[in-house]
Amino acid sequence: MNVPSSIKSFNRFREAIYAFRLPRILFSALELDLFNRMEARNWAIPQLAKRLRASQRGLGILCRNLASVGLLLKSRLGYQVAPFAKRYLQNTSQDFRGEYLTLMQRQWREWSQLTEVIRAGRPLDSQEPETSEYRRSFTWAMHHRSIQPSQDVAEQVALKSARSLLDLGGGAGTYALAFLKRNPMLHATIMDRPLALDVARAIAQQSSFWTRLTYQSGDFLKESIAGNYDVVWYSNVLHIYSPAENLKVFKKIKRLLRPGGRLLIQDTFLHDPKGLRPLETNLFAVSMLLYTDRGNTYSFQDVRAWLQRAGLTHFRVIQLKKGTGDWDGQLIEGRIPRSG
Ligand SMILES: C[S@@+](CC[C@H](N)C(=O)[O-])C[C@H]1O[C@@H](n2cnc3c(N)ncnc32)[C@H](O)[C@@H]1O
C-alpha cells in the first residue's frame, strides 16, 4: 500500500495527516450508496442530488473528486460510474466486494477510537461477545479480500506431490478452493469455527471442487486437531495470537504433518532487526491492538524461532512475484524432516 515511509519535514508530516481526505471522500460515496444508485446511467448533478437526497453543491464537489481519481467518468452530460467501480463497487456485479466494503467502513469508525484503546490496552468491545452476524460478515469480507490473491498465490506454490492440505483458520476457504483448483490430486480440509464454516460451505457449493473438500469445526487453540496432512496452510492467523499461542499452534501442527510435510505461513512480516519495516506491517499491528487481546505483527526471525522450538526445520522464505499474495509477497515455510 502507498504510505509514506518516513516523515522528516513538516511538509511530509502535513501530507501524511491530510492523506485522510481521499479515504474520507470514498467513505462518503459509499455511505451515500452512490455507485449503486448511479447504476449504468449518465447523471447530471441536479438529478443525482435528488436521487441521493443530497445537496447539489455537496454532490458536485464529491463527484468531481471521484472523477479525478477515476472512479467516475465525467463528460458534458454529467457523470457515470467508471468500469473498475462498476465491477467491484456495484452490487449487481459478480465481483462486488460488498462485505469487504462494509468491513472497511466499520474500521473507519472504529479506528477513531484508537487513543482510548491505547490508553486502556484492551481491544474495542472487549466486554461484548461477538455476534453471529459480525462473524458471518467478517468471513465474507475476508473472502472478498482474498479472491484474487488466493489465485495468484496458488499459481506460485508448488503442491504437485501433496495429496492433503489443512487450511487452518481457513475462514471462507478461499485459499483451500484456490489450491484445489490448481492441484487436481489434492484434498483439503478447512478448520475454523462453525459460523465461518457455514460461509465456507455456501461458497464451496458454488464451485466444482467441493467433492475434495472437508470441514473440521472447532477452536484449534483449545481443541485437538484431527488428521495427517502433507501441507498445513496458515494464512492471516498468526497475527491474531501472542508468541506463546503461536508456538502452541506450531507444536500442534508439527504433530499433524506427515514426514516431509510442510507448514506454509502467509502473513505480514517485519523485515529488519529494529522491527520498523515495512510500515504496512506496523500499521497492521494497530488493527490487532484494536480488535484482539494479544495479537501483533512479527518478524521473520520471531517465526523462525517458534518453528525451531516446535521442531520444524528447513526454514525458508518463499518470495512471490511482486504485487501478488495478501501482503508484500512473502510466505514462510517450515518442514518436518522426512525421517520423522
Ligand atoms: C483473518 S481470517 C483469515 C482467513 C483465511 N485464512 C484467509 O487468509 O483469508 C482468520 C480466520 O482464523 C479463524 N480462527 C482464528 N482463531 C481460531 C481458532 N482458535 N480456532 C479456529 N479458527 C480460528 C477465524 O475464525 C478466521 O476465519
The per-residue pLDDT for range 268-308, each reduced to its tens digit, is: 999 999 999 999 999 999 999 999 999 999 999 999 999 99
Q: Which residues, in sequence order, are CB contacts of 334 under 8 Å at separation 6+?
A: 250, 262, 263, 265, 307, 310, 312, 313, 314, 315, 316
For residue 139, the CA-to-ligand 1 centroid distance in Å is 9
Contact call for residues 162 and 231 (beta carbons, < 8 A): yes
| pLDDT tens sequence across 44-86 | 999 999 999 999 999 999 999 999 999 999 999 999 999 999 9
Q: Is 193 in the pocket of ligand 1 (CB under 6 A)?
A: yes
Q: Is 198 in the pocket of ligand 1 (CB under 6 A)?
A: no
For residue 267, the CA-to-ligand 1 centroid distance in Å is 12
In ligand 1, the atom with minimum distance to the C-alpha of 233 is 6
The residue contributing the CA closest to ligand 1 atom 11 is: 169
For residue 160, the CA-to-ligand 1 centroid distance in Å is 25
Q: Is 201 in the pocket of ligand 1 (CB under 6 A)?
A: no
The residue contributing the CA closest to ligand 1 atom 24 is: 169
Q: Is 174 in the pocket of ligand 1 (CB under 6 A)?
A: yes
Contact call for residues 213 and 173 (beta carbons, < 8 A): yes
Q: Is 173 in the pocket of ligand 1 (CB under 6 A)?
A: no
Q: 261-286 b/e with 16+ CB inside 10 Å = b?
A: bbbbbbbbbbeeeeeeebeebeebbe
Q: Is 196 in the pocket of ligand 1 (CB under 6 A)?
A: yes
The residue contributing the CA closest to ligand 1 atom 22 is: 192
Judged on CB neighbours under 10 Å (0-12, 13-18, 19+), 218 is middle
Q: Please give the pLDDT value at position 291.
A: 96
Q: Is 219 in the pocket of ligand 1 (CB under 6 A)?
A: yes
Q: Please give the pLDDT value at position 125.
A: 80
For residue 31, the CA-to-ligand 1 centroid distance in Å is 28
Handedness of CA 245, 246, 250, 256 (dihedral sign): positive
The residue contributing the CA closest to ligand 1 atom 12 is: 169
- Altogether, the residues listed in the chain come to a count of 340
pTM of the model: 0.94
pLDDT above 80: residue 128: no
Q: Which residues pair with 264 in a beta bridge?
A: 233, 333
pLDDT above 80: residue 4: no
Q: Please give the pLDDT value at position 325.
A: 84
The residue contributing the CA closest to ligand 1 atom 27 is: 171
pLDDT mean over 153-174:
97
Contact call for residues 55 and 64 (beta carbons, < 8 A): no
| pLDDT tens sequence across 196-242 | 999 999 999 999 999 999 999 999 999 999 999 999 999 999 999 99
In ligand 1, the atom with minimum distance to the C-alpha of 234 is 6
Candidates 156, 190, 179; CA nearest to 321 is 156
pLDDT above 70: residue 309: yes
The residue contributing the CA closest to ligand 1 atom 18 is: 219
For residue 107, the CA-to-ligand 1 centroid distance in Å is 18
What are the grid coordinates assigned to 232, written together? 498445513
